[in-house]
Chains A and B, each alone.
Chain A
Amino acid sequence: MLESKDLLGIKELSADDIYHVLETSDGFMDVLRRDIKKVPPLRGKTVVSLFYEPSTRTRTSFTLAAKRLSADIVNFSLSSSSIVKGESIQDTALTIQALGADFVIIRHASSGVPHSLSRLLNISVINAGDGANEHPTQALLDLFTIRAHKKKIEGLNVAIIGDIAHSRVAKSNIYALTKLGANVKVICPPTLMPVEIGQLGVEVHHSIEDGIKKADVVMTLRLQLERQSKGFLPSLKEYFNLYGLTSERLKLAKKDAIVMHPGPMNRGVEIASDVADGPQSVILEQVTNGIAVRMAVLYLLSGVKE
């Protein structure tokens, strides 16, 4: 049912597309619960992952998803490929296509790289994170996890806390949640709020106590320590004091609220350890669900004929 051969971002998807991916993921969750966790629909297809930024969970998750669909997967990694010899990203991508790949999964520090590859290549391009723009499969797996617990998305209060300006996870989640009719509240220091926030259809809070009230879902984001040398924050300790998710603050949300984090976590910076490991946390479920959702994305894109 997906229209495009590529998954570039949530922005490009309709609410129906999103629901279709979530419903297809249900079928793949069934596969992951079996003893033999392998099905044949992508037999003979080749998936190449091309990561210009470090990643453990997304890459491992995509690798497992591809393998469980019986595809062959090859991982190009930054340090051992011609990228270090100065090959341009376009040449690398064309080489991957010439090698006979059917999918390329790309992560890059610059926004829009997957979009430009999508125009260059005939094969499917999947965005696994581009700069501060989008990380669509993360948002899809987050929605899948929310739906598993709350049975619906529409009308839910979702609080997203953290570095919104630098977070592609936040961006993709905001697009996805608002498309499906959730009420999204973003909570972050003014220095970490993107300038275009007014156009995203979300409520903006600078106090966590205000924003978290009556939330059904509390989503914390990783504070991107590698981007914090530029003076957005006085100190990590102050960030935790003002914006860290503690068990006291979580009490202001609904009793049955779930706590999410896309990982990797900085314990004691954006989230307290007792919350991360607490009964309301679904953080490890998100990881498990990620495989099923990525299987659904690969499966659905393999059916798109252009």
Chain B
Amino acid sequence: MPRDILNSKEINKTITRITHEIIEKNKDINKICLVGIQRGGVLLAKRLASQLESVTGHKTEVGALDIALYRDDIYIKEEQPIVRSTDIPFSISDKTVLLVDDVLFTGRSIRAAMDALVDFGRPARIQLAVLIDRGHRELPIRPDYVGKNIPTSFNDRVEVNIDDKNSSEDSVKIIYAV
């Protein structure tokens, strides 16, 4: 049984709030770049970048990061994860890299993403923004910006449907395990 958590309007409001938190926390907005984790994180990163631009007038760079090759469950899973494109067309060295993902769960994706990032350079710092934090962390990882905390049980699924622009179809649903 799915249950709606956020509708399109609420998602947009949440992204606006996170944008302002990012500006508040980072004095020098020029030093920030966004890196989204494939695939949901990339769309969210693009949304954040366009809101950051409309608020500050500064165009923030956005990259896409695929973490398939850095996962720690690569020998456990039945099938190799699909390798998607990684596209970070700028230097991340000495930047504040804002890592963006749609759902934060065990934290293992974020660990993989940080491993992947350091192969591209040495960022000054890495921050983490997520739309949904559903708990059940298995690693000592904590987000800097959270859209919404939702309680889940381990086997539930959280489904985020967003686009790179505001769309009335956007939604966040939780699908309970039976």
Binding site for B on A (CB under 8 A): 1, 23-24, 26-28, 30-31, 34-36, 38-41, 296, 299-300, 302-303, 305
Contacts and interface: CB of A to CB of B under 8 A. Distances in A.
Interface stretch (B25-33, B64-72, B103-111, B124-132): B64-72
Contact of A296 (B77, B78, B83, B86): B83
Contacts, number: 52
A296 B69 CA distance: 11
B78 A30 contact: no
B69 A31 contact: yes
Contact of B119 (A24, A34, A296, A302): A34
B69 A24 contact: no
B85 A27 contact: yes
B80 interface: yes
B79 interface: yes
B120 interface: yes
Contact of B87 (A30, A296, A305): A30
Given A34-B119, A34-B120, A36-B119, A303 B69 contact: no
A41 B69 contact: yes
A27 B119 contact: no
Given A41-B71, A41-B80, A305-B78, 12 more contacts: A1-B79, A27-B85, A30-B85, A30-B87, A34-B119, A36-B120, A40-B70, A41-B68, A296-B83, A299-B80, A303-B74, A303-B78
B65 to A, nearest CB: 10
Contacts of A26: 83, 85
A38 B69 CA distance: 10
Nearest to B78: A305
B68 to A, nearest CB: 7
B80 A300 contact: yes
A41 B74 CA distance: 7
Nearest to B81: A303
A27 B68 contact: yes
Contacts of B68: 27, 41
Contacts of B79: 1, 303
Interface in B47-74: 66, 68-71, 74
Chain B contact residues: helix, strand, loop or mixed: loop
Contact of B86 (A31, A40, A302, A303): A31
Interface string B73-114: 010011110111111000000000000000000000000000
Contacts of A27: 66, 68-69, 83-86
A23 B84 CA distance: 8
A40 B80 CA distance: 13
Given A39-B69, A41-B69, A28 B78 contact: no
A27 B81 CA distance: 12
B77 A303 contact: yes
8 contacts: A1-B79, A23-B83, A24-B83, A26-B83, A30-B87, A41-B71, A41-B74, A303-B77
| Nearest 8 CB-CB pairings of A with B | A303-B80, A27-B83, A39-B69, A36-B119, A41-B69, A30-B86, A24-B83, A41-B74
Contact of B83 (A34, A36, A299, A305): A299
B27 to A, nearest CB: 29
Nearest to A41: B69
B26 to A, nearest CB: 26
A102 to B, nearest CB: 11
Nearest to B74: A41
A40 B69 contact: yes
Nearest to B70: A40
Contacts of B77: 303
Contacts of B71: 41
B80 A302 contact: yes
A1 B69 CA distance: 16
Nearest to A37: B119
A77 B87 CA distance: 39
Nearest to A43: B74
Contacts of B78: 303, 305
Nearest to B79: A303
Contacts of B84: 27
B82 A24 contact: yes
A253 B145 CA distance: 58
